[in-house]
Amino acid sequence: MESSSLLYNQLKAAEPFFLLAGPNVIESEDHILYMAKQLKNITSKLGLKFVFKSSFDKANRTSSKSFRGPGLAEGLKILEKVKTIYDVPIVTDVHESIQCEAVGRVADIIQIPAFLCRQTDLLVAAAKTGKVINIKKGQFCASSVMINSAEKVRLAGNQNVMVCERGTMFGYNDLIVDPRNFEWMKEANCPVVADITHSLQQPAGKKLEGGGVASGGLRELIPCIARTAVAVGVDGIFMEVHNDPLSAPVDGPTQWPLRHLEELLEELVALGRVSKGKQQFKIDLTPFFD
């Protein structure tokens, strides 16, 4: 718990924001190690607090034919290599309570998927690992729900919790990011993270040849959502990055190209340094006469 509290405090103090980033899912050990090296180099150059992200199992795919990753045991071995070789913290997601103990032995941050943000048993099991917990807001939830989700973690004895905005359902195949949520989610009294890539998914919005559907996305709007989130004053940015997005087996349409990462982050860092979004604006309603 002590090391988790240290990381948590480093994330809270990060300026202008911290970054959770990596490819959506573990495709191979070589690919993950390559991506981790590239991401660490870029974030070190820019002075950003960085946590490497990838999933060992994508259990909530639209289709049963979708690529899921190497699974728990092999996936954690690969993530542990990243942690050891590049000396970076790890964030990965869990889908079942039974996974939490094993994941907690490797990951520094355990992420709760948006679909599962109200699952009490999962939140409690994750909390009991003592790791930092990042809870994604369900696409079907109001921001106020995250106050309750964060409190479930705290009541389980873990104060190291964060909440993450990843868009709200807007019709059947679209999400919308309401910037007001970045402000309202601060009522959970913890760091607020903006997921700037999943927020631009189009769930089940891409028809496949031969029938069936997959998630589409609006990659070109990632800079728009990122600029908005940083200007509003979020504590952290979550984004999925790939060196070859068109070949990515999962969420290719919403993974940011590695070749453009440094350029985008440079702009976001500059924007974050001039924005006063993290400060409460004091509004004076007394009569004004000039």
User: What is the distance between the alpha carbons of residues 248 and 284, in angstroms, rounded to a whole number?
Assistant: 51
24 carries an active-site annotation: yes
Could you tell me the two tokens for 215? 């998630």
Residue 279 β-bridge partners: none
Judge contact between 30 and 255, C-beta under 8 A: no
Between 261-274 and 29-46, two packed helices, what is the crossing angle to 10 degrees? 40
Helical H runs in 92-179?
Answer: 100-104, 120-127, 145-155
By three-state DSSP, how is residue 63 classified? coil
Stated length of the chain: 290
Residue 18 β-bridge partners: 49, 236
Instruction: Catalytic residue, from 53, 58, 131, 152: name it.
Output: 58
Judge contact between 175 and 202, C-beta under 8 A: yes
136 carries an active-site annotation: no
Judge contact between 150 and 112, C-beta under 8 A: no
CA-closest candidate to residue 196, choices 158, 230, 242: 230
195 carries an active-site annotation: no
Instruction: Catalytic residue, from 93, 108, 235, 251: name it.
Output: 251
Residue in the structure block whose two tokens are 């034919």: 65
Instruction: Catalytic residue, from 24, 134, 158, 181: name it.
Output: 24
State the catalytic residues: 24, 58, 251
